[in-house]
Structure 1
Amino acid sequence: MDDDTAEELARLLAPLLPSSEVAGEDLWRSLDPASKFLADRYGRWACGWNWSVAEGDVDGGVVEVWCCSSHSVTTPDATAPLIVEALRQWRGWLEDLTQRFAQLTPPGNVPVVSTDHWYWERACTRLVTVVAERTHAESGWYRHCMQVLRWFLAYSGIDEGQAQAIVENAVGGRFGSWTAPDVPVVDAVSSRFAGGVGEIR
């Protein structure tokens, strides 16, 4: 979005936003009209605009400009530009992932041999590492990490159900909140990830 689009979007969002006087959980729910507006306007991807780092509205994400409803909501006119910037951060992350997926997917002409295992293992290692960095490995980061791994498998043409099973088997409680995984853990997860893919290809 260019600046003019951002300003226009903020202007459209402002009437949908609550004031800071709305208390507790009602404040969180009161952002639903804004989220629905963004999803209707841009598509489902926009629903991640408030997936903030650490313990926000939805913890474990990568958005840094938005903390949570109780801290980020002030007046509608001040809150709207924050939401726009949060949306831009989220969109930037998705675009970054798309580029990484394209770089990490094995070439279509690679046979199902040991090189295949290497490609998938390398992809998992790099994706886990970048998600841990971008989320600062804070509260609930591993949920988004698992989601990114599933997205990568889907991007690579693997069935959703198979992707879910591969990721759950590979990660399987090996990651935790507030802790970046060390090298042996990442290596073990990546090896299991590659092995799971190898079983279906």
Structure 2
Amino acid sequence: MSELWPYSLTWADVDPSRHPFDLDEHAAHRLAVLVVPLLPDASTIDDVSWPLTAVTEFLVQRYGQWACGWNWSIGEGDLDGGVVGAWCCAAHTVTTPEATAPLVVEALREWRSWLDELRQRFIDLAPPTDVPVASVDPWHWERACTRLVTMVADRTEAESGWYGHCMQVLHWFLASHGISEERAEQIVEKAVGGRFDSWMAPDATVVDEVSTRFAQAISQNP
């Protein structure tokens, strides 16, 4: 069921401009009601995440692939290295279906809020559009990388596996500005691969090094 995991989500999968989402309080309450029958009771849980598969499938079918990140919580939760604070993990968050359903909705809204925030940040950090990508002043790419790494480290609290989502966000940023998925993956791997660790936010020196490599990889891969 790896297709229900957020690790492989592309920017096309999550770009808010492609996937409208409006959940006011009335709609949020109705969604919680619909989720109730899909949830297990705490007494039946003997695995960390699989009891939530029905919930994830329902949310994805209703809203799109992006919704599979609803329970990508901070640290070692159902998954690893996410940004959602409203949900810990099935083992610690699930009680009764009626009490748990609103938490699912809150977590989904938090995840979507993060995607909306990233989209705006990608726009703010956009390089000039009147020159080829490889000719953009490296400063633009370095600035973007530095700010995005710092942003993700802060949001994930640099806990377990945080760097996976950090690399994904950098990948999304490049894809959002027209760089192919394959090339974006190569650039990010050259810049970041092996330089970040779990449970440790990178210091300024490491971030500067990664940002420089990020810019260099873009200019060296036309």
Provide structure 1 residue ranges, at least 5 long, that are not aligned to the other structure: none
Say if 2:208 is the partner of 1:167. no
2:36 counterpart (10, 14, 19): 14
State the shift of 1:98 in Å: 0.2
State the shift of 1:136 in Å: 0.5
What are the Cα deviations for residues 140-183 of structure 1, in whole angstroms up to 9, with x where unaligned?
10000000001111101111111111111101111000100000
**For the residues of structure 2 that align with 1:152 and 1:112, how far apart are their CA atoms?**
13
State the shift of 1:200 in Å: 2.6
Say if 2:102 is the partner of 1:71. no
Say if 2:112 is the partner of 1:91. yes
- Could you tell me the percent identity over the aligned residues? 61
Equivalent residue of 2:69, what SS?
A: helix
Say if 2:64 is the partner of 1:43. yes
Equivalent residue of 2:197, what SS?
A: coil
1:135 counterpart (156, 159, 179): 156
**For the residues of structure 1 that align with 2:129 and 2:220, how far apart are their CA atoms?**
17
Distance 1:161 1:114, change over 3 A: closer
Provide structure 2 residue ranges, at least 5 long, that are not aligned to the other structure: 1-22
Give the TM-score normalised by structure 1. 0.96
**For the residues of structure 1 that align with 2:135 and 2:62, how far apart are their CA atoms?**
45
**For the residues of structure 2 that align with 1:167 and 1:10, how far apart are their CA atoms?**
38
State the shift of 1:110 in Å: 3.8
**For the residues of structure 1 that align with 2:60 and 2:85, how far apart are their CA atoms?**
20
**For the residues of structure 1 that align with 2:128 and 2:135, how far apart are their CA atoms?**
14
Give the TM-score normalised by structure 2. 0.87
Q: Which amino acid aligns with 2:54?
A: P
Partner of 2:212: 191
Say if 2:202 is the partner of 1:181. yes
Distance 1:2 1:112, change over 3 A: closer
What are the Cα deviations for residues 92-150 of structure 1, in whole angstroms up to 9, with x where unaligned?
00000000011111121146677521111100000000000000001110000000001
**For the residues of structure 1 that align with 2:137 and 2:178, how far apart are their CA atoms?**
15
Q: Which amino acid aligns with 1:53?
A: I
What are the Cα deviations for residues 72-101 of structure 1, in whole angstroms up to 9, with x where unaligned?
011000110000000000000000000001
Asked if structure 2 preserves the Cα contact closer than 8 Å seen for 1:135 and 1:141, the reply is yes
Q: Which amino acid aligns with 2:172?
A: W
Q: Greater shift after overlay, 12-21 or 104-113? A: 104-113
RMSD: 1.3
**For the residues of structure 2 that align with 1:49 and 1:66, how far apart are their CA atoms?**
8
**For the residues of structure 2 that align with 1:113 and 1:56, how far apart are their CA atoms?**
39
**For the residues of structure 1 that align with 2:88 and 2:134, how far apart are their CA atoms?**
46
Equivalent residue of 1:50, what SS?
A: coil
**For the residues of structure 2 that align with 1:109 and 1:158, how far apart are their CA atoms?**
15
Q: Which amino acid aligns with 1:12?
A: L
**For the residues of structure 2 that align with 1:174 and 1:113, how far apart are their CA atoms?**
24
Equivalent residue of 2:43, what SS?
A: coil
